[in-house]
Amino acid sequence: MVKGEQFEIPLPENLNLGSYYLDGNLELGRGDKTAIFHGDKTYSFRDLWLLTNRLGNVLKELGVEPENRVLLVLEDSPEWVAAWLATMKVGAVGTHAYTYLMPHDYAYLLDLVKPKVVVVDKVTLEKVRKGAEGLKYPRAVLVAGRGVQDLRPGEFGLEKLLESADERLEAEPTHRDDLAFWNFSGGTTGRPKGVPHMHRDGVIAYESFNHILSYKTDDVVVRVPKLFFHYSRDLGLLFPLRDGASVVLFEQRTTAALIFELIRKHRPTVLINVPTMMRAMLQTPEHERPDLSCIRHSMSSGELLSAPLNEEWVKTFGSEVISRFGSAESGIGYLCNRPGAVRPGSSGTVTPLSEIKLVDEDGREVSRGEPAVLMVRSDAAGLYYVNEHEKSKTTFLGDEWVNTGDVFVQDEDDYFWYVGRADEMVKVSGVWVSPLEVERHLHACPAVKECVALGIRDRDGLTKIKAFVVLKDGARAQAEMQDELQRYCREQMAPHKIPRAMEFMDELPKTGQGKIDRRLLRERPL
């Protein structure tokens, strides 16, 4: 068991996250400072505060009361930010969803969340309309954006309602243990599961992060992941706002070219990134890349950042990458590398206000060097999955421990190394194998641009390792490369870990969240 630094946090009985993240900036004299860059517009902290207050009053006019839920399904924008803060400020519970889903996905989420109000934009309106057909919720739909037309009964143009809304709004005196927001878990391997969190959880998560990498008031933050990722929402929006930093928002789908354009325009000091985009940025021709010397810190989360990718980034762009690991359930980043003490390929050491242990199938702690499931304990953790009682019992355990389902190895210096999901470990020839370990070895091959290893059953029902490989430009013919990769694997891995099949692809399929779609690849034959 390893415990991070523990310290007391002021948690007043009356605590409201909507006010906590924003209002202090006005009290500290930062009202005229830029909070948001959005396109060619800037929003000061006073502008954002007024927009939040007006939007909160709009929600109240539409019948939103404390403990009601509000669902955000719109692209990143000042309205997204204000709607999130306003929801909590009026005592309601904030939830948000991917903007790339299909109508049947929204039908599931609407039935699960049962929001009093859904906030959409012109991009998502029609899909949410179709998803809501035949459902009791939402009671009202707010449509953000200019020139909204052809609205149906129960739909309201947000811009018009804001014009007449009162700019004064007292924060609801919520209790620190009242629900404030949901995180969603499991969206890439199954239907998203809602994890409710309290107002106190947001403060604890902020304080933990702040002891590792606090923002400065002159920081400018560019985020690669969209705000519907809680990693991006917290580290790339709410925590910077709390510290008086500036955040860059964009509505377009994320591409390497767009991120470089934003870096060129805003000269950010902090880049919130993911490994998939890091690879895409590295593959961009050098003459199309701006100077990145402005970046003080790069953050990475969402998927494993391999050592080769980490080292290539540092060699190419110079900025150290701080990789971390957290979950929707824990409500906190419980592992993180530290500035100046990064171990490439690791997920770092335990964070402040967190406690972790690695346990075997019987719940016993294991020795260093043994792969085992990570359990985390913190006061920021959720308590259950909504409408998932049986799953909740296997995840949210007694004595505040959360079963992450992630397998790690702890080294002698208390750095933790990700092995894979417990439910993705496969048994080959009677021995447990981590496909992620196979991927790491393949990634180290100079000719490999991107790869995935999976356990796939053959016609006899036996599980074999199959690798899906994207080669770098200029690599030799695929037939030659398959022989070379097989030889490389034999030199690096035990026989039962070597892929029995390889499939070369022009690119790996991605989910709407930009992650590799392993579920789709599993459907391909061995």
- Is residue 64 included in any domain, yes or no? yes
- Identity of residue 446: P
Would you say 54 and 166 are in contact if contact means Cβ atoms under 8 Å apart?
yes
pLDDT by 10s per residue, the chain, length 526: 999 999 999 999 999 999 999 999 999 999 999 999 999 999 999 999 999 999 999 999 999 999 999 999 999 999 999 999 999 999 999 999 989 888 998 999 999 999 999 999 999 999 999 999 999 999 999 999 987 889 999 999 999 999 999 999 999 999 999 999 999 986 444 578 999 999 999 999 999 999 999 999 999 999 999 999 999 999 999 999 999 999 999 999 999 999 999 999 999 999 999 988 998 999 999 999 999 999 999 999 988 888 988 999 999 999 999 999 999 999 999 999 999 999 999 999 999 999 999 999 889 999 999 999 999 999 999 999 999 999 999 999 988 899 999 999 999 999 999 988 887 777 776 666 888 888 888 988 888 988 999 988 777 666 789 999 999 887 777 778 888 888 888 888 777 788 989 999 999 998 765 678 888 898 888 7
∠ CA 35-155-67 to the nearest 5 degrees? 65
- Is residue 250 included in any domain, yes or no? no
Sign for the CA dihedral angle at 14, 183, 194, 126 comes to positive
Sign for the CA dihedral angle at 285, 290, 293, 294 comes to negative
Q: Domain end: 142, 174, 206, which one? A: 174
**How confident is the model at residue 187, as a pLDDT?**
44
Domain that holds residue 459: 429-522
Could you tell me how far CA 406 lies from the centroid of its own chain? Answer: 16
Give, as one character, the DSSP assignment of residue 290.
Answer: P
Q: Which structure tokens are listed for 361?
A: 């199938």
Q: How far apart are CA 354 and CA 402, in angstroms?
A: 11
Q: Domain end: 120, 144, 174, which one? A: 174
- Provide the CATH number for the domain around residue 92: 3.40.50.980
Print burial letters for 150-161: b (CB count within 10 Å at least 16), e (below 16). eeeeebbbbeeb
Q: Which structure tokens are listed for 232?
A: 């991006």
**How confident is the model at residue 407, as a pLDDT?**
92
Would you say 176 and 198 are in contact if contact means Cβ atoms under 8 Å apart?
yes
For the stretch 237-261, pLDDT in tens is 999 999 999 999 999 999 999 999 9
Cα dihedral 62, 66, 70, 75 in deg (nearest 10): 90
**How confident is the model at residue 155, as a pLDDT?**
97
Nearest CA-CA partner of 220 in 273, 277, 290, 267: 267
Q: Domain end: 158, 174, 190, which one? A: 174
Could you tell me how far CA 321 lies from the centroid of its own chain? Answer: 16
Q: How far apart are CA 215 and CA 272, in angstroms?
A: 13
- Provide the CATH number for the domain around residue 518: 3.30.300.30
Which residues sit opposite 416 in a β-bridge? 410
**How confident is the model at residue 514, as a pLDDT?**
66
**How confident is the model at residue 430, as a pLDDT?**
61
Would you say 126 and 141 are in contact if contact means Cβ atoms under 8 Å apart?
no
**How confident is the model at residue 188, as a pLDDT?**
40
CB atoms within 10 A of CB 355: 18
- Full-model pTM: 0.86
- Is residue 252 included in any domain, yes or no? no
∠ CA 120-122-128 to the nearest 5 degrees? 50
- Is residue 284 included in any domain, yes or no? no
Tell whether omega for the bond before 138 is within 30 degrees of 0, i.e. cis: yes
**How confident is the model at residue 183, as a pLDDT?**
97
Contacts for 363 with CB less than 8 Å, ≥ 6 apart: none
- Is residue 398 included in any domain, yes or no? no
- Is residue 448 included in any domain, yes or no? yes
- Is residue 152 included in any domain, yes or no? yes
Q: Which structure tokens are listed for 408?
A: 């790690």
Total domains, the chain: 2
Residue 501 Cα distances to 1, 34, 482, angstroms: 39, 54, 9
Max Cα–Cα distance, the chain, nearest Å: 70
- Is residue 140 included in any domain, yes or no? yes
- Compute the 3-state secondary structure of the chain and give helix, strand, coil in percent, each to the nearest 5: 30, 25, 45
Q: Where are the alpha helices (DSSP H) in 358-492?
A: 389-395, 435-443, 478-492
